Amino acid sequence: MRLRLWHRLYIAFAALSILALLAFALLQQNNFRRGFLDYLNRLSLERLEEPARRLGEEYALHGNWQFAQGNERDLMRALGLAQEQNVDAENFRPPPRRADDPFGPLPHRDEGDFRPPPPRRAADGPRPPRRPAGPLNLLERVLLLDAKGERVNGNPEVAKDSPSIKIQSNGQTVGTLLLQPMPGLRGGIDTTFANNQIKYAAIAALLVLLGALALAWALSRWLLAPIRALSKGARALAAGDYATRIASTRKDELGELATDFNQMANALEKSQQARRQWGADIAHELRTPLSILRGEIQALQDGVRQPGPETLASLQAECGRLAGLVDDLYQLALSDAGALSYRFETLDLSELLQEIIAGQKIAMQQAGLELQLVLPTSPISLRADRQRLLQLFGNLLSNSLRYTDAPGRVKVEATRMGNFWQISVADTAPGVPSDAMEKVFDRLYRVEPSRSRAFGGAGLGLSICRNIVNAHGGSIEAKASAEGGLWIRVLLPASGA
């Protein structure tokens, strides 16, 4: 089975959740055991405060520690812990009461008056089990020291640096009770309590894990919803449906990706429309001269027109128009593909513009147009291809020649703009509508198709101009001229900029 991306995300989220819960559970249990042991140790130390007070009082009565010396049972009686340790009744002797005991002294009784309890019989049933010595058994963890630090009674293995309680008698320290800390939970109620805590923690961790897994599943599906939409949209684009769009209101990176996808789809849709328009425009441009040629030839075949200079001149003009259109298409295709050959060299643009003006002046005068050239006093030095610049400015001046009404004026001016040279070509009326300014460099675009066709323009010259300028690292734009016509500005990098 091939794992999809959302499967991998879900597995990653689930693994992280499990690891986090395990780490938390281990840390929590470790801290709990440490804290529980500390609690039990403090509790045990507090339980020794009252026995320490009793020991101090007993010491005041006897004046020494002989009453507490001997076996552990003697220490147990001295501490008053016999009942807590479940000593057999027949072996237990309560400590003697003092004369000032609030409950009164014990009645005097001779040893002969003491009657031991009757022996146990089989009919009495089994003896109740003793409570096993657990971590709360203080006796095996207590060491009683006198004022000099010598052992009086208790477990001799208790460390001297264990927690302790001072035994006071008449305002003086007469001994010390040491309590050995529990090394761990060994059984009994404390272990049962700890195990219950572990069980409850495991149940809580399982519930949290189930919730985390459900949340991870939902989160992985939610995160990848835009990616699924992108995948579906990409397949639609590959199938040719350029109108497809992705609806997304997210503000994160996936939302930005969806926006970029929509922009790409919009650009592809416009490109497809432009290709269709391009094919229709080329067919239209070729159809007109071919129709004229077909009509002229048909008239000659039918004898309607006789071969003569005018007929041949008309046929030659239409053939020339077709050749010019085909050549423009070829040049545009080369410039679009970057296949136009460029030979860059350092040249003076002033000399080149003067050469172009000289070649266009007669045609401008015959069309009733005045041609002006304004140049700076310093040379216009730049690295460029001479032939391509001649083609560039020749197309711009030819465009003004075709579409400027007579009498009119065409002005060419060169100025320095920072690291660029600005060369502008401005003419007089008629102008170009403001909504058409951004389209004048589109291929086969005409502001007025009938007029362009009458003057022989195919709408390719300015597109070629834009490609030439881009190849030189410059820019070109069109605006309304102050004199009522079209103003085209060309920016070319200055030499050394």
One domain for residues 36 and 71: no
Rounded-to-integer distance, Cα 11 and Cα 9, Å: 5
Domain count of the fold of the chain: 3
At residue 446, the pLDDT reads 63
Rounded-to-integer distance, Cα 413 and Cα 462, Å: 19
One domain for residues 143 and 34: no
- Residue whose entry in the numeric block shows the structure tokens 């006093």: 377
The answer to whether 230 touches 246, Cβ cutoff 8 Å, is: yes
User: Which pTM value belongs to this model?
Assistant: 0.44
Rounded-to-integer distance, Cα 293 and Cα 300, Å: 11
| Residue 274 placed within a domain | no
One domain for residues 18 and 99: no
| Residue 387 placed within a domain | yes
DSSP 436: G
One domain for residues 425 and 480: yes
One domain for residues 143 and 67: yes
| Residue 313 placed within a domain | no
User: What are the DSSP calls for 127-186, one per residue?
Assistant: PPPPPP--TT--GGGEEEEETTS-EEEE-TTS-TTS-EEEEEETTEEEEEEEEPPP-S--
Task: Per-residue pLDDT tens, the chain, 497 aa: give them.
Answer: 566 666 677 777 778 778 887 887 777 777 766 777 788 788 888 888 888 888 888 888 888 888 877 666 666 666 665 544 444 434 444 445 445 544 444 444 444 444 444 555 555 555 544 444 444 466 678 888 888 888 888 888 888 888 888 988 888 888 888 888 877 655 555 567 667 777 777 787 788 778 877 887 787 777 777 778 888 888 888 888 888 888 877 777 778 888 888 888 888 888 787 677 667 767 766 776 787 788 888 888 888 778 888 778 878 877 877 887 777 677 667 666 555 667 899 999 999 999 999 888 888 999 999 999 999 988 899 999 998 898 899 889 988 998 899 999 999 999 999 999 999 999 998 888 887 787 788 766 666 543 344 444 556 778 888 888 998 999 999 999 988 899 999 999 998 65
At residue 132, the pLDDT reads 40
One domain for residues 404 and 384: yes
| Residue 255 placed within a domain | no
Residue 370: φ, ψ to 5°: -95, 130
One domain for residues 458 and 433: yes
One domain for residues 94 and 58: yes
One domain for residues 26 and 72: no
Residue 469: closest CA among 449, 492, 448: 492
Q: At what angle do helices 253-302 and 309-337 cross, to 10 degrees?
A: 160
One domain for residues 216 and 174: no
| Residue 27 placed within a domain | yes
User: Which structural domain range is residue 23 located in?
Assistant: 5-43+188-231
| Residue 330 placed within a domain | no
| Residue 12 placed within a domain | yes
At residue 371, the pLDDT reads 93
List the CATH number of the domain containing 434. 3.30.565.10
Residue 84: closest CA among 123, 38, 137: 137
At residue 475, the pLDDT reads 94
